[in-house]
Structure 1
Amino acid sequence: MTNTVAANAIVGILLAAGRGRRFDPLGQRNKLLQPIDGEPVVVHSARHLLAVLPRVVAVVRDGGDAVAAQLAALGCEVVECTEADSGMAASLVHGLRHADAAAGWVVALGDMPRVRPATIAALARTVEQGADIAVPVYRKEVGNERGNPVAFSRRHLPQLLALAGDRGARGIVRDNIVNEVVVDDPGILLDIDTPPDLQ
C-alpha cells in the first residue's frame, strides 16, 4: 500500500524489528523496551524523529505488539514486517514501500536513542537541498567518524528496494557520493547492543 505524501516531504523510517540477540540471547528482554531516563529506548528514538519530520513509518516485527503499541501511541505509522528475521534490509524495504512517494527518507535505528533532533533536521535539510545521500559525522579529536541515521533522496529508491540480507544500505553509502554532515552529536555513534549500553 502506498501513501501519498507531499512531493517535498522527507519521511522518517524507524527500524524497530530486530531481535536484539546480542542484548539478550534468550530473547526474554526486548532491548527496545528497556528504560532510559524513564522511557523505553525505542520511544526516545521515535520521539526525536517525530520532533522534526511530519511522518514517521516505524517497522516492527510480526507479533511485536508491545513495541508497536508504544510507537503508535506516539504518532508513528506502524507497519509489521513478517520477513524481519531475514535481515535489516527486509525491514528497510518494507518501510520504504509504505512511503515510496516521499522526496527522501531519514533511515534511523530504534536502538539509537541518543541521536539529537538537530542532527535529524540537518540530514533532512541536506537532502532537501539536493544531496542524494547525507551521513552524519561526529568530529572527534582524531579524525571524523560516520554514524547513523542516514538520509537518502528518491534517486536511490530502486537500489534501496533491491536490498537483501543483513547489511542494510551500507553498500549504497559505500559505493556512491555522500554528503557528510558534521554534527556535534556523539549520539550518532551510540546504540544499545548489550545491557551495559543502557548506562
Structure 2
Amino acid sequence: MALRILIRGAGDLATGVAAELKERGYQIVMTEIEVPLTVRRQVACSRAVYEGKAVIEGHTALLVSNENEAEAALQKNQIAVLTDPEGEIRTKMHFDVIVDAIMAKKNMGTSMTDGPCVIALGPGFTAGYDCHAVIETKRGLTLGQPIYEGRAIPNTGVPGMVGGYAIERLIKASADGIMEPVAEIGDVVRKGELLAVTGGHPVYAQIDGIIRGMLQTGVEITKGMKIGDVDPRMEPSLVHMISDKARKIGKGVAQAIRTILFSQYGMVFLAAGSSRRYGEAQENKLLAEKNGKPMFRYLLDQMEVFSMCTRTVVSRIPQILDYAQGHGMLPTENTEPEKGISLSLKMGIETCRKQNPQLQGILFAVCDQPGLKAQTIEQMLELAVKNPEKIICAGTKDCLGNPVLLDKRYFPELMELKGDTGGKQVVKKHLDQVVLCETSSQELQDIDEKTQNW
C-alpha cells in the first residue's frame, strides 16, 4: 500500500511536487480554491477545477467532490482534486504526509499536528513550529533544499532570472476588474504588444517572448496582480512542461518525506555469526569476495542511502566494524558470538535505542544476504509507516524471510530471547500481525555454503 499524500494547492509548483511524488508510487490528493488563480495553468492540476480533468506529462488529475470519489480516483491511479480551500478533507481521509503548497507567503492554517509528516513550501513557515520541514522555493543554489529548523528565504517580490530577464517577464493587471485575455498561452509576442485587458485597461508585453502562462477569462483580479508570464527563451515545448523549478522543489519534498518518516526507525545489521557451514575459512565468511568486493559490503553499501535511520552493525570482525564506522554506521562489537544470535539482537537494540530513544521500530537484516536491494528496504519502511505496530517481513507468499522490521511493542520479547534463537520466534508468535513485503527469491537468499552462487 502506497503512502498517501495531501497537497494543499494545485498550482504549477504544487503540480511539480505531485508529479515527482506520483512517479515514486505515492497516492496524491490535491485541494484548490473554487476559482483557481494559476497563471501556468497548462501544467497545473488546478485546471481540473474548471475543466473536470487535466493531464500533465501523462498524469491525470480528476475533479472529485468528496472522499468516496477521491478514493475511487486513487484506485484508478489518478490524482484526485477537490475544491476545498480549508483542507477539510484532512478530517475525512487518512494522510501519511501533508504538503502546504498554497504559496500564499504566509501560513493559511497548516499545523505540525495535522499529520505524521507536514511539509510547507517557501516563506511564511518555520520548520519545527508550523511544520516538520520547509522547502526552499527561491531560485538559486539552495532551491528545493529541505529546511528542518528555521525558515526559507523571505519573499522579495522579484521573480528569478530566466533568459536574462526577471521582473520584466511578469504580466500584471493594470486595473481592478475582470480578466480578458487577448493573447493565448503559447503565442509568440513582441514588446509593446497588447496581451490582455483588465478592468477595461490594456496590459502590454514588456519583452519579446512566448506566453507561458495566462489567467483564464472572467477571473476577478486586482491592480498589480500577476495575470501572466512571458518566457524570453522562445521555446514552445516549455509551455507544456513542468518547470525545472517545480521539479526541483518536488525532489526536495520527496527527500524530506523520506528523512522525516524513516528517521523514526533503526536498522540492525547482523554480522557476528560463526559461519559453521561455510567451509575452511569459517571465521571469515563475510569477508569472502566476489568481483573484488567482500560479501558484507553488498548489503552495507545498499544501506548507505538510509542515513536518516539509526544504523548499527553488530560484528566480531574488525574489518566490518571499521567499515561500518567509516560509512556513518554505529559499530557494535560482539565478542561472544558463541552465545547465539539473541545476543546480537539485544546488542543492536540497545545501541539503536541509546542513540534514539524515540524509535518506532527496528529493521533487522543479515550481512550474508548480498542480493538485498535498497528498494526493498524502502518498501518495508513505507509499509511500517502505513501499518503502525505491525511486523513487516520480506518474503514470498509461501515463505517469510529476512529482513524483518519489528515495531517497538515487540522489543521486550526480543530482549527475552536466549541462545541461538532469533527474531523469527517472535514473528511466529504474532503471525496475525505480519504484513508481507513481497521480495524476489534472489534477494532473500542467504549464503551459508561456498558452493552457493551469489
TM-score bracket for the superposition, by shorter chain length: 0.7 to 0.9
Q: Distance in 2 between matches of 1:160 and 1:49?
A: 23
Query: Could you tell me how far apart the structure 1 residues matched to 2:433 and 2:307 are?
Result: 21
Amino acid at match of 2:450: P
Q: Indicate which of 405, 413, 422 corresponds to 1:159.
A: 413
Aligned-pair distance for 1:33?
A: 0.9
1:106 aligns with one of 363, 367, 371: 363
**Deviation at residue 184 of structure 1 after TM alignment:** 4.1
Task: Give matches, 1:97-176, under 5 Å.
Answer: 97-100=350-353, 101=357, 102-129=359-386, 130-138=388-396, 144-176=398-430
Which residue of structure 1 lines up, in the alignment, with residue 303 of structure 2?
A: 49
| 1-structure distance, mates of 2:389, 2:291 | 35
Letter in 2 for 1:68: L
SS in 2 for 1:31: helix
1:72 to 325, 340, 362: 325
Q: TM-score, normalised by structure 1?
A: 0.84
2:381 is matched by which residue type in structure 1?
Answer: A
Aligned residues: 187
Unaligned segments of structure 1, at least 5 residues: 1-5
1:12–1:53 Cα contact (<8 Å) kept? no
1:75 to 1:36, Cα distance in 2 relative to 1, 3 A: farther
Question: Which amino acid is the alignment partner of residue 87 of structure 1?
Answer: G
CA drift of 1:131 comes to 4.1
Relative to 1, partners in 2 of residues 1:116 and 1:26: Cα closer, same or farther, differing over 3 Å? closer
Match of 2:447 in 1: 192
Kindly state the Cα deviation for residue 165 of structure 1 after the two structures are TM-superposed: 1.1
Using the TM superposition, give the Cα deviation of residue 185 of structure 1 relative to its aligned residue in structure 2, in angstroms. Answer: 2.4
Range 49-58 or range 99-108, more displaced: 49-58
Contact kept? 2:394, 2:439, Cα under 8 Å: no
TM-score, length of structure 2 as denominator length: 0.39
Distance change in 2, residues 1:53/1:148 (3 Å): farther
Quote the residue 1:3 is aligned against.
Answer: none
Please provide the CA RMSD for this pair: 2.1
- C-alpha contact (below 8 Å) 2:393/2:404 kept by paired residues: yes
Q: How many percent of aligned residue pairs carry the same amino acid?
A: 24
Partner of 2:245: none
Q: Tell me the amino acid that sits aligned with residue 89 of structure 1.
A: S
- Is the CA contact 1:93–1:160 (under 8 Å) kept in the aligned structure 2? yes
CA distance in 2, matches of 1:75, 1:68: 11
Are 2:272 and 2:344, in contact at CA under 8 Å, matched by a contact in 1? Answer: yes
**Judging changes above 3 Å, is the alpha-carbon distance between structure 1 residues 53 and 185 closer, same or farther for their aligned structure 2 residues?**
farther
- How is 1:72-91 mapped onto 2 (pairs within 5 angstroms)? 72-91=325-344
CA distance in 2 between counterparts of 1:39 and 1:16 reads 16
Q: Distance in 2 between matches of 1:51 and 1:183?
A: 21
Task: Look up the match of 2:434.
Answer: 179
Residues 1:39 and 1:160: Cα distance change in structure 2 (over 3 Å): same
Structure with bigger gyration radius: 2
Contact 2:269/2:364 (CA < 8 Å) preserved in 1? Answer: yes
C-alpha contact 1:89 1:164 (8 A) present in aligned 2:
yes
CA shift, 1:12, in A, is 0.8
Residue-by-residue CA offset, 1:71-110 (whole Å, 9 max, x unaligned): 2222221011233211001001011011122211110001
- 4+ runs deviating over 4 angstroms: none
Identify which range, 116-125 or 183-192, moves more after superposition: 183-192
